[in-house]
A and B are shown apart, each in its own frame.
Chain A
Amino acid sequence: MAEQNPVVNGIEIDTEKVQRMLGKIIVREKTNLKTREKTDAQMVQMIKKMIEEEVECY
């Protein structure tokens, strides 16, 4: 049974998508802490892309 989706600023949020994203983000952050490959700005971009993609997807 679908739970009531939380609403932020009048926009409904799909929590499944959020969990998926958070999981991926944490892993990427963990890696990045080791490799120091990406800068903060790059990480931010990465997260943005992730959100936009996830939102657009079905």
Chain B
Amino acid sequence: MIFHDDYQFRGSHAEKVNRLTAAFNKNNNSLFNRNLDVYILAPIVGFLYNRTAELDTSGKSTNVLYAAMSKETNTLWFNYRLIMLLDKQHEPDFEKRVDKAFRYYGKEQAKPDEERYESFVRGGVDVLYEKLIEPSHTEEDYLKNLYDFMEEFEERYGQNSEEIVDLCRLARS
């Protein structure tokens, strides 16, 4: 079941994850601390950029250990739910999406959903690698590209914070 076992990045994605977590300067700074951190962010990025990727079984692999994962299950399920709720391509019917998000998760019938999720994970890894690693050559490049990436995102998706607050208030009333 998803999030209940070690997770393996494989092939080209494993390589990319290694690069994303590698130190890029003498201070041992890296963009992502652990493979888990990539695993947490990648699906969101993959979904936003609408990128999926096939599993690449060739080559090496790199793990996210369950031991680490178990500490972040809240976050992981949260991300899963977000994507299930909004992935119209995968399921056009909202009610069904709600079920996927809140009812069927973790069950046998969630298999295709989990696979969909995983493909976003891989797609997200591709995006992150393209945006943050590929164009970076010097130490300064890494931070700059991160900044550019963030700026691009902020521009494209705007603020949203206020609306969220309102919606939450609404939800409780």
Direct contact of A and B (CB under 8 A): no
Residues in B lying within 8 Å of A, measured CB to CB: none
